[in-house]
Each structure stands twice: as structure tokens, then as C-alpha cells.
Amino acid sequence: MPGKIRVSTIVNGEDKEFLCEPYQTLLEVLRDELKLTGTKEGCSNGNCGACSVILNGLLVNSCLVLAAEAEGGRIETIEGLRAPEGLHPIQQAFLENAALQCGICTPGFIMAAKGLLDKNPSPTEAEIRHWCAGNLCRCTGYDKIVRAILDAEHRMTVQG
């Protein structure tokens, strides 16, 4: 069996090096090695989006990325979203729109919303629904989540 692989990454703006087995996913390493448990595991086969993170500017299911593939990459997780001066507008919009109930899908949805708004600052409701179709929520019926993302969009436009 080959030994562990040394991987250098930037996680939430900080240099992070870790050792991983060749078969370990980015999700496993984030949660078990780097102790960033804000990224959730709902299915481990890319169907629920609870493990959504942004890798090199691209929204990914971290359960479908091998940790070794992150070599040299920039990873953004839910833990890195809050700025020192306060919550990110998407986080604030989720709170004020009551867009979470149990909250397990919330980190994934917030990262998915960030992935969308980074690319498209003014998505329509239909675009939001299409983009977020890879993230499952079983509590809210998506209504308040979609509204929160529309609200975040507005907040971010106002804040510039």
C-alpha cells in the first residue's frame, strides 16, 4: 500500500498542509483531519450538496473530490465566510429570512449561494432554483431559502 500523500492547500485564506490516504475524500480530510466540521456529510455520493465547498472558485461536492486533488488549491468552507466585522450578507439573509430549520443543509446551501452570486450577482428566482437543485433541504420546502438568496443578492448589490 502506498504511503500517505502530503498536500498543500490554502483553506479559508490560511496555508494548510495535511497528510492523507490516496482514497480519502476532501470531505473526510476537512472534517476529520482539519476539524472543519461545518461542512456536512449527507450522502457521500454527490446527491445532496451538504458538503458543498468552493475549490479554486468552483463550487464542488467535497465528497466527490479526492483530498489529494486539492494540492495547491484554494478551498473556501463555511467557516471562512464570516468576516471579522460580521456575518457575510448571505449568512445574515439566511438568518433574517428564517431560511433554516434543522440547519444541516445550511452550510452547503450558503456555499452554493456564494458560488452562484460570485458568478452571477443578479440571478432570477428560476436561476437560483436551477443552481440550487444539487442541494437537498428536507425541512423548508426551499421557499425561504430562495427568498434568502434573493435578499442576499439585494444586500450585496447595495453594499457593492
Partner 1 sequence: MGSIRAPEKEYKVIGTRPVRHDGEDKVTGRAVYGADVQLPGMLYGKVLRSPYAHARIKSVNTRKAEALEGVKAVVTAADLPDPGDRSANMGELGEVPLKYMSRNVLAADKVLYHGHAVAAVAATSPQIADQALKLIKVDYEVLPPVMDVLQAMRGRPALLHEDLFMDELGKKASQPGNIASHNQFRKGDVAKGFAAADYTLEREYRCATVHQGYIEPQAATAMWNADGQLTLWCTTQGAFTMRGAVHQILGIPLSRLKVIPTEIGGGFGGKIPTYGEAVAALLSRKSRRPVKVVMSRAEVFMATGPTSGSYVKLKMGVTKEGRIVAAEATLVYEAGAYPGSIVGAGGVCMFAPYNIENTTIDMYDVVVNKPKTAAYRAPGAPNSEFATESLIDEFCEMLHVDPLEFRLKNAAREGDLQSHGVPHPKIGFIETVQAARNSEHYRSKLTGSYRGRGVASGYWGNVGLTSSASARVNGDGTVTLREGSVDIGGTRTSIAMQLAEVLGISAYDVIPSVADTDSIGYTEVTGGSRVTFATGWAAYEAAESIKRQMTQHAAEMWKVSPDAVLYEDGRMRVADDDSKQITFKDLARSLYDKGVDVGARVTVTPQGVGGAFATHIADVEVDPETGKVTVLRYTAVQDAGRAIHPSYVEGQMQGGVAQGIGWALNEEYVYNDAGQMLNASFLDYRMPTSLDLPMIETIIVEVPNPGHPFGVRGVGEVPIVPPQAALANAIYRAVGVRLRDLPMSPPRVASALEAKS
With contact defined as beta carbons under 8 Å apart, do 5 and 19 qualify?
yes
The only residue of 29, 55, 137, 152 in contact with partner 1, by rule CB under 8 A: 137
Q: Helix crossing, 106-119 with 89-96: angle to 10°?
A: 130
Q: Does 145 bind partner 1 (CB under 8 A)?
A: yes
By the 10 Å C-beta count (0-12 exposed, 13-18 middle, 19+ buried), 109 is classed as buried
Q: What x-and-dash track marks residues 27-66 binding partner 1 by CB under 8 A?
A: ----xx--xxxxxxxxxxx-xx-x----------------
Q: Does 7 bind partner 1 (CB under 8 A)?
A: no
Q: Backbone phi, then psi, for 18, in 5-degree steps? A: -150, 160
The residues of the shown chain that bind partner 1, judged by CB under 8 A, are 21, 23, 31-32, 35-45, 47-48, 50, 77-79, 81-82, 87, 91, 94-98, 100-107, 110, 125, 128-130, 132-147
